[in-house]
Amino acid sequence: MKIKPYSSSILTLEGFFLMSMGMYFLFVRPPLLPEDLRYMQTTLDGVQEKLPRLADWLPKVFWVMGSYIFTAGLLVTFIALTSFRTRTPGTFSVVAIAGITSIGAMSMINFIIGSDFKWVLLSLTFPWVITLILYRLHK
Protein backbone atom coordinates (compact mmCIF):
# COMPACT_ATOMS: atom_id res chain seq x y z
CA MET A 1 0.00 0.00 0.00
CA LYS A 2 1.41 3.36 -1.02
CA ILE A 3 1.21 6.22 1.49
CA LYS A 4 -0.48 9.30 0.04
CA PRO A 5 1.64 12.44 0.51
CA TYR A 6 -0.13 15.05 2.60
CA SER A 7 2.54 17.72 2.28
CA SER A 8 0.54 19.87 -0.15
CA SER A 9 -2.54 19.72 2.09
CA ILE A 10 -0.53 20.81 5.13
CA LEU A 11 1.13 23.59 3.13
CA THR A 12 -2.34 24.72 1.99
CA LEU A 13 -3.36 24.90 5.65
CA GLU A 14 -0.25 26.98 6.35
CA GLY A 15 -1.30 29.34 3.55
CA PHE A 16 -4.69 29.75 5.20
CA PHE A 17 -2.96 30.46 8.54
CA LEU A 18 -0.97 33.24 6.87
CA MET A 19 -4.04 34.67 5.15
CA SER A 20 -5.87 34.67 8.51
CA MET A 21 -2.94 36.41 10.16
CA GLY A 22 -2.98 39.01 7.40
CA MET A 23 -6.69 39.61 8.00
CA TYR A 24 -5.97 40.06 11.72
CA PHE A 25 -3.37 42.74 10.97
CA LEU A 26 -5.70 44.39 8.43
CA PHE A 27 -8.90 44.48 10.46
CA VAL A 28 -8.40 43.58 14.12
CA ARG A 29 -4.96 44.46 15.50
CA PRO A 30 -4.96 47.61 17.63
CA PRO A 31 -2.19 50.19 17.11
CA LEU A 32 -0.42 49.19 20.32
CA LEU A 33 -0.72 45.97 22.29
CA PRO A 34 0.09 45.79 26.00
CA GLU A 35 3.25 43.85 25.06
CA ASP A 36 4.37 46.74 22.82
CA LEU A 37 4.17 49.15 25.73
CA ARG A 38 5.98 46.67 28.01
CA TYR A 39 8.78 46.26 25.48
CA MET A 40 9.14 50.04 25.07
CA GLN A 41 8.92 50.43 28.87
CA THR A 42 6.27 53.10 28.64
CA THR A 43 2.56 53.68 29.03
CA LEU A 44 -0.11 54.58 26.51
CA ASP A 45 -0.29 58.05 28.04
CA GLY A 46 3.48 58.40 27.66
CA VAL A 47 3.32 57.42 24.01
CA GLN A 48 0.40 59.75 23.33
CA GLU A 49 2.22 62.61 25.03
CA LYS A 50 5.54 62.16 23.19
CA LEU A 51 4.21 60.81 19.87
CA PRO A 52 0.61 62.02 19.53
CA ARG A 53 0.21 60.88 15.90
CA LEU A 54 1.65 57.38 16.40
CA ALA A 55 -1.77 55.83 17.05
CA ASP A 56 -2.98 57.28 13.71
CA TRP A 57 0.11 56.11 11.80
CA LEU A 58 0.47 52.54 13.10
CA PRO A 59 -2.82 51.21 11.68
CA LYS A 60 -1.61 52.22 8.23
CA VAL A 61 1.61 50.30 8.81
CA PHE A 62 -0.41 47.26 9.89
CA TRP A 63 -2.68 47.57 6.83
CA VAL A 64 0.38 47.29 4.61
CA MET A 65 1.86 44.50 6.71
CA GLY A 66 -1.46 42.63 6.82
CA SER A 67 -1.83 42.95 3.06
CA TYR A 68 1.62 41.48 2.51
CA ILE A 69 1.03 38.64 4.98
CA PHE A 70 -2.32 37.86 3.33
CA THR A 71 -0.69 37.91 -0.10
CA ALA A 72 2.12 35.62 1.07
CA GLY A 73 -0.52 33.18 2.35
CA LEU A 74 -2.39 33.35 -0.94
CA LEU A 75 0.79 32.59 -2.87
CA VAL A 76 1.73 29.74 -0.51
CA THR A 77 -1.74 28.26 -1.00
CA PHE A 78 -1.40 28.53 -4.77
CA ILE A 79 2.05 26.90 -4.71
CA ALA A 80 0.72 24.12 -2.46
CA LEU A 81 -2.09 23.36 -4.89
CA THR A 82 0.06 23.54 -8.02
CA SER A 83 3.84 23.27 -8.24
CA PHE A 84 4.25 21.62 -4.83
CA ARG A 85 1.87 18.82 -5.86
CA THR A 86 3.56 18.34 -9.21
CA ARG A 87 7.01 18.56 -7.56
CA THR A 88 8.23 21.26 -9.93
CA PRO A 89 12.02 21.57 -9.61
CA GLY A 90 13.02 24.30 -7.20
CA THR A 91 9.71 24.31 -5.35
CA PHE A 92 11.13 22.69 -2.20
CA SER A 93 13.84 25.37 -1.92
CA VAL A 94 11.42 28.22 -2.52
CA VAL A 95 8.98 26.90 0.09
CA ALA A 96 11.80 26.32 2.61
CA ILE A 97 13.18 29.85 2.15
CA ALA A 98 9.68 31.35 2.25
CA GLY A 99 8.99 29.59 5.54
CA ILE A 100 12.24 30.80 7.08
CA THR A 101 11.79 34.39 5.93
CA SER A 102 8.09 34.67 6.78
CA ILE A 103 6.63 32.80 9.75
CA GLY A 104 10.08 31.65 10.88
CA ALA A 105 11.45 35.21 11.10
CA MET A 106 8.24 36.53 12.65
CA SER A 107 8.36 33.79 15.28
CA MET A 108 12.03 34.44 16.08
CA ILE A 109 11.51 38.20 16.46
CA ASN A 110 8.53 37.60 18.73
CA PHE A 111 10.75 35.49 21.00
CA ILE A 112 13.38 38.25 21.01
CA ILE A 113 10.85 40.89 22.08
CA GLY A 114 9.13 38.57 24.56
CA SER A 115 5.78 38.70 22.74
CA ASP A 116 2.65 37.25 24.31
CA PHE A 117 2.06 35.52 20.96
CA LYS A 118 5.49 33.89 20.56
CA TRP A 119 4.25 30.35 21.22
CA VAL A 120 1.27 30.74 18.91
CA LEU A 121 3.56 31.93 16.12
CA LEU A 122 6.06 29.16 16.83
CA SER A 123 3.25 26.62 16.57
CA LEU A 124 2.47 27.98 13.09
CA THR A 125 5.99 27.05 11.96
CA PHE A 126 5.38 23.36 12.66
CA PRO A 127 3.05 22.71 9.70
CA TRP A 128 5.70 24.27 7.46
CA VAL A 129 8.42 22.00 8.84
CA ILE A 130 6.17 18.94 8.67
CA THR A 131 5.32 19.82 5.06
CA LEU A 132 8.99 19.94 4.09
CA ILE A 133 9.75 16.67 5.87
CA LEU A 134 6.83 14.90 4.19
CA TYR A 135 7.83 16.34 0.83
CA ARG A 136 11.35 14.91 1.20
CA LEU A 137 10.08 11.53 2.43
CA HIS A 138 7.76 11.13 -0.56
CA LYS A 139 9.72 10.24 -3.68
The pLDDT of residue 2 is 46
User: Smallest Cα–Cα separation from 104: which of 127, 80, 125, 126?
Assistant: 125
CA distance 117 to 107: 9
The pLDDT of residue 3 is 45
| Residue 13 predicted with pLDDT over 70 | yes
**Residue range 73-99: average pLDDT?**
94
CA distance 120 to 132: 20
For 43-55, the pLDDT digits (tens) are 999 999 999 999 8
The pLDDT of residue 18 is 96
Give the start-to-end residue ranges of the domains of the chain: 7-137
Specify the pTM. 0.87
Determine the Cα angle at 19 with ends 18 and 23, to 5°.
115
